[in-house]
Structure 1
């Protein structure tokens, strides 16, 4: 019985970068990196892609993922939540397979460069902490948002952290608690949490520290990832080159 499954969301219709999940990253579609990261994990037993697109389905299967269903359009809108596609996948497996894995490793294609060993470490960490309702990855914020401001209707700054007159926002960053940026490197959600409540992550979110990671939301970030791969390489790109012919002949 499968206990740990990787799920990779890949809806079509991205507006920031057209067909972002298939964007060319050093000869391979963006989504291929997340599929390969899951396949190279030693704890992930199945790799499933949730998509609303036949084209994405074909590409995902080519790189070794399962696409046993197509995601309904109501879960593939700009304002659709993670909970929608996760619950749909869980309920599909319950109905069609009679088994719902407990640990769901949520890998977003837009954060493509991962170390598979960190996926393993994340799953092992949440398995060891029975109080956790989920696990989310993050990296240390280089700046502390508790020192930041919003702007009121008269164009005056208002401190995010309510001020008692001491101008706390002018204190050094060391005076504030460390803040972490959730980065989509590797999140783990529990079927028992999602299917028995109205929440996705619950109130006991286990932390998991990762290196700073770039999330693709613009062509500039794709260019940066290409530079990063050319400079530092990646076990994922090495695997792709060794196991698949070049998918794209030229960079976009």
Structure 2
């Protein structure tokens, strides 16, 4: 059984109430719920939240709320992995342990398409790995144009090779972790200690879909790209 869980805590500080903030006519979380429900692989869509308003909003758009997230997993210090373990444990009680695949969608990343979700699931199923998560080619490269301060405060390249990179095209390809789609084995979440604690691979979602909402500026950027995306879809 494949379940999708969308996490949305109520105490956002960067942008208050961002998970239910209206984006082009519907709450932000609704975009992820509706996309998950369109997947040809996902059996059920649930919400992990500590907030009654978020829970009620999610249910209006078709997600299920079968448990509430405890306070200790709804603060700034709570890790995503522990939230996943809690949600999986609660759902396994309801499903008699029949869950084999756990899909997490960040509700702050509405630019993904249902085809991205399905391809990530297919990649997971066709690969001998513990999990798949969304990535995109990094816009900055630590071998070429990312610098950090050394112990004396002077800048140097973040990563170096025996032969220094002088052209961007010659730099090893690196990826950004895009907080959008995660597909993992239920046993991996239950027994693992973190996303990279096992054998995980990336699904390249593309730079145009890599934006997520943490601030007002992020929201404006996502709104712009979402409006552009919907406009292009309307012309097809």
Q: TM-score, normalised by structure 2?
A: 0.90
Structure 1 partner of 2:116:
118
| Equivalences for residues 130-149 of structure 1 within 5 A | 131-147=128-144, 148-149=146-147
* Correspondence 1:180 to 2:175: yes
- Note the C-alpha offset of 1:97: 3.3
Structure 2 partner of 1:94:
92
Secondary structure of the residue aligned to 1:225 is: helix
Provide the rounded CA distance (Å) in 1 between the counterparts of 2:28 and 2:187. Answer: 30
- Note the C-alpha offset of 1:79: 1.5
- Note the C-alpha offset of 1:162: 4.1
Deviations 1:10-65 (A, max 9, x none): 01111110011111111111100110110011111100110011111100001000
Secondary structure of the residue aligned to 1:186 is: strand
Structure 2 partner of 1:202:
197
Structure 2 partner of 1:225:
222
* Structure 2, unpaired ranges of 5+: none
Secondary structure of the residue aligned to 2:180 is: coil
Provide the rounded CA distance (Å) in 1 between the counterparts of 2:51 and 2:233. Answer: 24
Structure 1 partner of 2:26:
28
Deviations 1:60-91 (A, max 9, x none): 00100001000011111102111111111111
Which of 102, 105, 108 in structure 2 is aligned with 1:107?
105
Provide the rounded CA distance (Å) in 1 between the counterparts of 2:62 and 2:223. Answer: 23
Provide the rounded CA distance (Å) in 2 between the counterparts of 1:73 and 1:236. Answer: 40
- Note the C-alpha offset of 1:111: 0.6
Which of 59, 62, 68 in structure 2 is aligned with 1:61?
59
Provide the rounded CA distance (Å) in 2 between the counterparts of 1:39 and 1:234. Answer: 22
Provide the rounded CA distance (Å) in 1 between the counterparts of 2:232 and 2:34. Answer: 9
Structure 2 partner of 1:244:
none
* Correspondence 1:160 to 2:155: no
| Preserved CA contact (<8 Å) 2:143 2:160 | no
Deviations 1:173-229 (A, max 9, x none): 222211111112321121111212333443311221112221111112211222223
* Structure 1, unpaired ranges of 5+: 238-252
Provide the rounded CA distance (Å) in 1 between the counterparts of 2:84 and 2:232. Answer: 28
Provide the rounded CA distance (Å) in 2 between the counterparts of 1:33 and 1:21. Answer: 10
Provide the rounded CA distance (Å) in 2 between the counterparts of 1:61 and 1:184. Answer: 23
Provide the rounded CA distance (Å) in 2 between the counterparts of 1:125 and 1:230. Answer: 29
Instruction: Give the stretch that moved more between structures: 203-212 or 146-155.
Output: 146-155
Provide the rounded CA distance (Å) in 2 between the counterparts of 1:154 and 1:199. Answer: 33
Which of 15, 19, 23 in structure 1 is aligned with 2:13?
15
Which of structure 1's runs of 4+ aligned residues deviate more than 3 A?
199-202, 234-237
